[in-house]
Amino acid sequence: MSDGPINDFPSGLLFDEAMAIVAEVAAAHRLEAETVALSRCHGRVLAGDVDAPLSLPPFDNSAMDGFAFRHADLAGEQTVLRLIGEQFAGLDGGWSLAAGECVRITTGAPLPAGADTVAIKENVAVAGERVSVPRTALGQNVRYAGEDVRQGERVLQAGQLLTPARVSLAASLGLSSLRVRRKPTVAVFTSGDELVEPGMSLQPGQIYDSNRDLLMGLLRADGLEPTAWPRLPDDPKQVEIALRDAACAFDLVFTCGAVSAGEKDHIPAVLREFGRIHLWKVKMRPGMPLLFGSMDQARMLGLPGNPVSVMATYMTFGRALIDGLQGRSEARPRFRARLVGSIEKTHPRREFIRARLFSDDAGVLRVDPNPATGSHRLRAAADSDALMVVAEGPQTLADGAVMDVLPY
Ligand SMILES: Nc1nc2c(c(=O)[nH]1)N[C@H]1C(S)=C(S)[C@@H](COP(=O)(O)OP(=O)(O)OC[C@H]3O[C@@H](n4cnc5c(N)ncnc54)[C@H](O)[C@@H]3O)O[C@H]1N2
Ligand code: MOO
């Protein structure tokens, strides 16, 4: 391994500069498109636009259970019509109404030819064939063909995330599969000789590995199916072997720890020697030692080892990488909330502060920062449900200032 300075790549970048590099590298390594059965499309990113092969609703139909008739037949407060049959939701009975006739109809059933209005059954008196319907506005309780979607109209676009409603829309159009981007396969590594598996006994100087569950949980919550690898020891040869092995089998390799300046922080040197570093160190807090590169077929994101650094870097760079690889072009929802209390920030880096989100009595979303500083303090993260973002440079923020927040 080379002993020279590791400096032939961008370093000490502004947050937005680093994000731009991640987006660019991800776009250059976009995952291939595949055709997937609709039931497996949830959470996937669409690879192509979808134009409606049919209109929705496909035919005029009733919005309520009741009686369908011709509005022109109504006279006065009550009109007696002649019941000629039933049209339930399902096969079209081919009914056609002549003057003074009506048909019993259920919700979703096709409207008989000639009918243009439906009275709900609760307001109708039926005696044999005689049906007394009240005054009803023209078109009442009718759902028109094409009022939701017109045939040929673009309803979904490449780059959109397939939410349950979007998958359901595709189903309603009769589509049984969609072109989506492959989901990245993800390997997760934690690293450090101090780490012990929860459940084992601790020797002096050791701590339990908490980042593995943190990162696996964050990835799973984003719909990925990560694979946890055995922990990396603080040994450069073993780090090299494990990372090279993972890099030829996974799209994404996430590591936690061993990316800072310590004597045992081997990951940057391994990445440089056997792959390529795209950037190292970002002006953010926590998360400053973030490392991003490529090795073999994988993109590698080296998250700093402190737990809150893992959260801040995953929720920003990790997600940008995952979204970029899948060509997700629709921005994730942005949340903004008003600050509780005030903040005086003096350092130059962008800061991510653990905070609680809540709606106040006036219906205003508020964000209440946790006073704990220190990216090792996991308890403050567990007591919080969002990271609040404070912009670069010195900032004096008063109560009520509008803040960007990343809920988790
Ligand atoms: N001289 C310098 N020292 C440090 C710098 C620096 O720039 N110069 N950066 C500091 C910052 S900021 C951070 S963040 C940390 C990150 O360092 P590493 O990514 O190399 O992480 P480690 O040293 O391996 O670990 C940091 C910290 O986190 C604990 N840790 C690591 N992995 C886990 C895990 N899986 N579960 C629980 N806890 C974990 C580890 O024990 C350390 O306490 O470096 C600063 N130092
Ligand atoms: O930047 Mo470190 O990630 O302060 O904790």
Find the helix or strand (DSSP H, E) in which 176 lies. none
Q: In ligand 2, which atom is closest to the CA atom of 288?
A: 1
Domain 61-143, classified CATH 2.170.190.11, yes or no:
yes
Series of mean pLDDT values for 10-residue runs along the chain (408 residues): 64 98 98 98 98 98 98 97 98 98 98 98 98 98 98 98 98 98 98 97 98 98 97 97 98 97 92 97 98 98 98 98 97 96 97 98 97 95 98 98 98
pLDDT value at residue 2:
46
Give residue 200's pLDDT: 97
Pocket of ligand 2 (CB under 6 A): 285-288, 304, 306, 309, 375
Complete edge-to-edge strand list for the sheet that includes strand 276-282: 11-13, 276-282, 291-295, 298-303, 252-256, 186-190, 227-228
For the CA of 304, the closest atom of ligand 2 is: 3
Residue with CA at minimum distance from ligand 1 atom 43: 306
**pLDDT at res. 5:** 53
Render the burial of 3-20: b for 16+ CB within 10 Å, e for the rest.
eeebeebbeebebeebbe
DSSP string computed for 75-88: -SSEEEEEEEEEE-
- As a whole number of angstroms, the distance between CA 344 and CA 399 comes to 11
d(CA 268, CA 15): 19
Q: Which residues are CB-neighbours of 163 under 8 A, at least 6 positions away?
A: 42
Q: Where in the chain is the domain with CATH 3.40.980.10?
A: 11-31+183-325
The amino acid at residue 387 is: L
Residues with CB under 6 A from ligand 1: 190, 192, 194-195, 207, 209-212, 256-262, 265, 286, 288-289, 304-306, 309, 375-376
- CATH 2.40.340.10 residue window(s) in the chain: 335-407
**What does the pLDDT read at residue 6?**
53
Task: Give the three-class secondary structure for 398.
Answer: coil
- Where do the CATH 2.170.190.11 domains begin and end in the chain? 61-143
Classify 35-52+155-181 by CATH class. Answer: alpha beta
Radius of gyration (C-alpha) of the chain in whole angstroms: 30
Q: Which superfamily does CATH assign the domain made up of 11-31+183-325 to?
A: MoaB/Mog-like domain (3.40.980.10)
CA 100/CA 114 separation, integer angstroms:
11
Q: What ipTM describes this predicted complex?
A: 0.96
Alpha helices in 198-340 (DSSP H): 211-221, 236-247, 267-274, 307-313, 319-325
Give the Cα separation of 143 and 57 in Å (integer). Answer: 7
Q: Which CATH class is domain 335-407?
A: mainly beta
